[in-house]
Amino acid sequence: MMDNSPGSHARPACTNGEDDIAAALSTSGVDQPRIERAVREILAAVGEDPDREGLRETPARVARMYAELFSGLHDDPRQHLRKFFTEKYDEVVLVKNISFNSMCEHHMLPFMGEAHIGYLPAGKVIGLSKLARVVELVARRPQVQERMTESIADLLVDELEAKGVAVVIEATHTCMTIRGIRKPGSLCVTSAMRGVFRSHLSSRSEIMNLIYGDRR
């Protein structure tokens, strides 16, 4: 008799479902066996046979993939911003073209693009790689681009107490390119301005020039 229960192909030696769940939860915070069951159900619902050879490993594969794509739900981006150092640098710090992949929460389809983050420090400066790490963590959860942009800006304001923060995100949404209105090549741009970049037009144009300058 073949055991077709979800997870049986990934870990054939383990037959105890509860141990499976506990192990998955403790390693990633994501209940992978539950995803496996759901994916089997979706395959059956669209009229496929989840047990045919090509699909047999799919639920386990998708579960591992979701654990990776949504790992940001189980990691606090603030902890990376708390590793700042004190520096008497009071000019703009800008990191451009931080690439990311995220998952549109409306369609569970990926959107991907680049984030540009600029801030005007007030004594607290962060390692440049930490900015990329924060983008990564905020991206790896069910997301909408507008909220992603604002939450990165707010995190920087909260943790660095910067005089100004500017976050611009440009992304392509596969929910717009492969389905629905099907507009390949369309780019969605969002921005969040805080502090001086919000209140002072000259500061805002300066940061926007730094972000877009070389493209004009």
Residues within the interface to Zn ion (CB under 5 A): 104, 106-107, 175
Question: What gap in Å lies between CA 143 and CA 110, rounded to an integer?
Answer: 10
Nearest approach, Cβ of residue 75 and Zn ion (Å): 24
Contact predicate 93/121, CB 8 Å: yes
Residue 107 is among the residues annotated as catalytic for this protein: yes
Find the catalytic residue in 107, 150, 170, 188: 107
Q: Looking at beta carbons, which residue is closest to Zn ion? A: 175
Find the catalytic residue in 104, 136, 159, 206: 104
Find the catalytic residue in 14, 57, 79, 106: 106
Q: How many CA atoms does the CB half-sphere of 194 hold within 13 Å?
A: 25
Nearer to Zn ion, 108 or 128 (CB): 108
Residue 161 is among the residues annotated as catalytic for this protein: no
Question: What gap in Å lies between CA 82 and CA 76, rounded to an integer?
Answer: 11
Residue 175 is among the residues annotated as catalytic for this protein: yes
Helix (H) or strand (E) holding 39, with range, is helix 32-45
Within 10 angstroms of residue 153's Cβ, the number of other Cβ atoms is 25
Residue 14 is among the residues annotated as catalytic for this protein: no
Residue 150 is among the residues annotated as catalytic for this protein: no
Nearer to Zn ion, 133 or 173 (CB): 173
Q: In the structure encoding, which two tokens stand for residue 44, read together?
A: 């059956």
Nearer to Zn ion, 82 or 106 (CB): 106
Residue 106 is among the residues annotated as catalytic for this protein: yes
Residue-level length of the chain: 216
Mind telling me the catalytic residues?
104-107, 145, 173, 175
